[in-house]
A = this chain, B = another copy of it.
Amino acid sequence: MIAEILAVGTELLMGQIANTNAQYLSTRMAEIGVSVYHHTVVGDNLDRAKAALSLAKERGADIVLISGGLGPTQDDITRDVVASCLGKSMNISDEIVEHIRSLFTYRGREMPENNKRQAMVIEGATVLENPRGTAPGQYVAGDGVHYFLLPGPPTELKPMYEEQVLPILRRLQGEENLVFASRYLRTYGIGESAMEIKIQDIVDSQTNPTVAPYASEGEAMIRLTASAATEAEAQALITPVETAIRERIGKYIYGVDDETLPVKVGKLLRAKGQTMATAESCTGGMIATMITDVPGCSDIFWGSVVSYHNDVKHGVLGVEESVLREHGAVSSQCARQMAEGARRTTGADWAVSVTGIAGPGGGTKEKPVGLVFVGVAGPNGTTVEEYHLRGDRHQFRLRTAKVALYDLMQRIQNDSER
């Protein structure tokens, strides 16, 4: 099957937000073996949106995934566009009106009348519920094409896809008698091109499962996707290829599927009944934010001290004034005392610290932008590593947070209780 991904929203064409939904939906299509040949973005313009929808059909799309344009204002045109292209009418759903009204009531506000637009349902459409927002999605088929109308905010679109769109696509695929299964192998410490060289022959020779490497901000991932008559058969096709890949680059693989670095660190700590804290300078709380983004982290995460100013490094974390004076805040000695101070202050079993120069300003010849020290203090002592990371301020902070989590993960894994 072929899918086209269409985003509706003038804010995308103005560059105010990025079309992250296109990447997300593309990844999901690749996982289930649906081909994507085009992404299109149009503004909140009835004629251009209609033309884009017709074009998708002309270009042979079986599935059109549309994001955005489901809000309450006159600018939110997606419902009208799809109804018009299919020659179908729309009806207001009292049930949806009541749902939206209840959301406003919960916040102690009156529902503005224009919100009723969001309750217009295309004739014959299946309503896709949106517990995270006011605009429900819709699924409607016509002239052999399957249209999915999805909300623009990724936080609403993603769960709607997982919970409601994917089962419908699976059913449509089931009519083709094929089931797809995917597995992700998460690696750290090997670049995408180095990884590709090591497994290129496997990537090239495999057709079922297909093997695809991805890279993002210092991490690299390998996706294996197999199709078969049953889920179990598809999984059985994946296993030997996964084994072959692990024989080549197993030492770089730290997790599978949704096992990100913060998730993996949490699992390791939970298994040992231990806890952690962070002491952050240049990352400014980003490591703590990543850890606490995982639900249920409160049993392993005690807290963090973001010590941007030296007074906080000294006063809260107990970094010695002589260290700050003689070696500076960006030094191995300071990273060590920050980690040990955070461990002592919070009472956690482990603490990871970072101190570095994020830029764009503040670099010197001896301590250039990109220099960072990562300390890990644990039950059996403290280690410090020095790194030189590339990228702009945001990339540097993100890469620093990841390398710190990776160092912590390795220390926890290798720690034998003495």
- Nearest CB in chain B to that of A73: its residue: B196
A125 to B281, CA, bound (A): 43
Among A34-74, those with CB < 8 Å from B are 36-43, 45, 48, 52, 55, 71-73
A388/B107 contact (C-beta < 8 A), A23-B17, A155-B395 known: yes
A265 to B240: give the CA distance in the assembly, Å: 55
Asked if A27 contacts B15 (CB within 8 A), the reply is: yes
- A151-201: which have CB < 8 Å to B? 153, 155, 159, 192-194, 196-197
A221 contacts which chain B residues (CB < 8 A)? Answer: 16
Flag if A390 contacts B212 (CB, 8 Å): no
Select A307's contact among B15, B18, B36, B303, beta carbons within 8 Å: B303
Contact A296 B361 (CB under 8 A): yes
Question: In the bound complex, do residue B302 and residue A309 qualify as a contact, i.e. CB atoms below 8 Å apart?
Answer: yes
User: Is A291 on the interface with B (CB-CB < 8 A)?
Assistant: yes
Q: How many copies does the complex hold?
A: 2
Complex Cα distance, B192 from A175, in Å, reads: 42
Distance in angstroms between the alpha carbons of A368 and B52 in the assembled complex = 44
* Interface residue from B17, B285, B295, B390 paired with A107 (Cβ < 8 Å): B390
A308 touches B285 (CB 8 A): no
A293-B22 in contact given A72-B193, A107-B390, A345-B316 (Cβ < 8 Å): no
Contact between chains at B29 and A38 (CB < 8 Å): no
- Contact B11–A214 (Cβ < 8 Å): yes
Interface residues of A in 1-27 (CB under 8 A from B): 7, 10-20, 22-27
Across the interface, do B346 and A394 meet the contact criterion of CB distance under 8 Å? no
**Given A14-B36, A72-B193, 7 more pairs with CB closer than 8 A:** A7-B39, A14-B223, A15-B28, A19-B23, A283-B292, A286-B289, A303-B316
List 17 interface pairs A-B (beta carbons < 8 Å), by A numbering. Answer: A10-B212, A11-B214, A14-B30, A14-B214, A15-B23, A15-B26, A16-B215, A18-B18, A19-B19, A37-B48, A38-B41, A39-B39, A40-B40, A295-B393, A301-B308, A303-B305, A303-B316
